[in-house]
Amino acid sequence: MSEALDTAAPAVPSRRSLPHYLVAATLARGADAGAAVGVVLLATLPEVGAGRPALLGGLLATCLTAPHLLGPLLARPLDRARDGRGLLAAAFATYAGAVALAALLLGRVPVGVPAALLIVAGACGPLLTGGLSSRLAALLAPDERAQRRGQGWDAVTYGVGGSAGPALVAVLAAVAGPRMSLLGLAAATVVAAALVGTLPARVPGGGPARSVPAARGGLRALLGPGPLRRVTGVTMVGALTGGAISVLAVMLAADLGREAVSGALLAAAYGGGNLVAALLVTAFPLTGPPERLTMRWAALGAVAVALCGAVPGFPVAVAAFALAGAATAPLFAATLAARSAYAPDAVRAQVFVSTAALKVAAASLGTGLAGVLAPLGPRLLLVAGASVTLAATAGATVSRRRRER
């Protein structure tokens, strides 16, 4: 399948290309967001968890998330491919097959087998996120407004997928059981793979496969002097707080004298704010240099997070979390614009996939730190997270101004 797609004749993006991309992206990112929830629920079944469901669920979820760090190794072939559809479709199909098999085998064979399958799926995860985003620019008109609007739509796919994926898992698990919920996610990813195959056969300027630097080339582009390093640094620091938000929401609800379920409402407000803002970004695309946009929205988001730590009551907390979530949508769109503008062509996919992998790692670290530092209280942790992000933004801004002199 991969070879057949990658040797197809050149094609020009059609009016259907962007809608197909957006549906595929939403399905794939919904599956990526929901799978970890699904395996945790599956571990609660008596025939699976064997008396320690929380431990097993955490280990299985880690099998899905930790391998995202292998993403840069898969991104190099994506850079080498003449259009990349074949590799993306194959990665999507592999993800679907591995998740489906793991769901069917858990509790019926030694746990190492489904765990290995989840590791395979996790390694494909960055291609469902950053790998697919690296193809977006070629589907859009070259003018800045069209590119920024498309990046706003991409942010919407993350917002919808991030909310709908876990919600679909919860509904299917309640109706048909956790196994069926994971099979549903696998089916959605198969549909996404088919839609990827309908995208243009070759990016503009495509041609014979290129000589591409080794996998470390993408990391070198991200970490070398220049705007990509500054944007990446601020993105990673912000992801620490983003990863902790769900945990801190539950803690803050308790601090405000509410039940734990109210923490889920705060997290939902955060996600809802993100989705509404993402839709606004598509209607009113961002303008200006991507690096400056990133710093501006990172700082505004940090201020909103700090406000979450200073709320006097639950209704204000809901508004503050919605505001903090709203700031993440233009920030994400700005970082997409920065990667698109500053990534060298030879390692473009590696830059997108490496960033996605690093964000997952940073978010996972943030989640862990929130648990370890829980005795400090949610308010202090929210303000601390905001302060670190503001410090990173200030440092990046000073660095940029020094280089511009």
Question: In angstroms, rounded to a whole number, what is the distance separating the alpha carbons of residues 135 and 155?
Answer: 14
- Asked if the model's pLDDT at residue 97 lies above 80, the reply is yes
Tokens of 29: 């990112």
Q: Are residue 177 and residue 230 in the same domain, yes or no?
A: no
109 DSSP β-pair partners: 106
User: How many structural domains does the chain have?
Assistant: 2
Mean pLDDT on 101-107: 94
Mean pLDDT on 27-43: 87
Q: What is the pLDDT of residues 120-144, one digit of tens each?
A: 999 998 888 888 888 888 888 888 8
Q: Are residue 136 and residue 274 in the same domain, yes or no?
A: no
| Domain assignment present for 239 | yes
Higher pLDDT, 389 or 365: 389
Please, where are the H alpha helices in 106-215?
A: 112-126, 132-133, 144-176, 178-196
- Asked if the model's pLDDT at residue 175 lies above 60, the reply is yes
Q: Are residue 181 and residue 229 in the same domain, yes or no?
A: no
| Domain assignment present for 204 | no
Q: Are residue 174 and residue 229 in the same domain, yes or no?
A: no
**CATH number of the domain to which 385 belongs:** 1.20.1250.20
Structural domain including 126 reads 2-196
- Asked if the model's pLDDT at residue 222 lies above 80, the reply is no
Higher pLDDT, 390 or 137: 390
Count Cβ atoms below 10 Å from residue 78 Cβ, excluding itself. 26
pLDDT band at 1 (very low <50, low <70, confident <90, very high): very low
| Domain assignment present for 208 | no
Q: Which of the listed residues 164, 196, 228 is the one where a domain comes to its end?
A: 196
Q: Are residue 290 and residue 384 in the same domain, yes or no?
A: yes
Per-chain mean pLDDT for the chain: 84
Q: Are residue 120 and residue 17 in the same domain, yes or no?
A: yes
| Domain assignment present for 323 | yes
pLDDT at residue 2, as a whole number? 45
Q: Are residue 179 and residue 246 in the same domain, yes or no?
A: no
In terms of residues, how long is the chain? 405
3-state class (DSSP) for residue 16: coil
pLDDT band at 204 (very low <50, low <70, confident <90, very high): very low
Q: Which of the listed residues 196, 229, 249 is the one where a domain comes to its end?
A: 196
Q: What is the pLDDT of residues 223-269, one digit of tens each?
A: 777 888 899 999 999 998 988 887 888 889 889 998 766 887 888 88
Tokens of 306: 């700090």
Q: Are residue 253 and residue 157 in the same domain, yes or no?
A: no
Question: For residue 240, what are the contacts with CB-CB under 8 A and spacing of at least 6?
Answer: 362, 363, 365, 366, 369, 385, 388
pLDDT at residue 78, as a whole number? 78
Helix (H) or strand (E) holding 59: helix 53-65
- Asked if the model's pLDDT at residue 334 lies above 90, the reply is yes
Task: Return the percent helix, strand and coil in the chain, to nearest 5.
Answer: 80, 0, 20
Q: Are residue 178 and residue 220 in the same domain, yes or no?
A: no
| Domain assignment present for 271 | yes
Q: Are residue 46 and residue 165 in the same domain, yes or no?
A: yes
First to last CA, the chain: 51
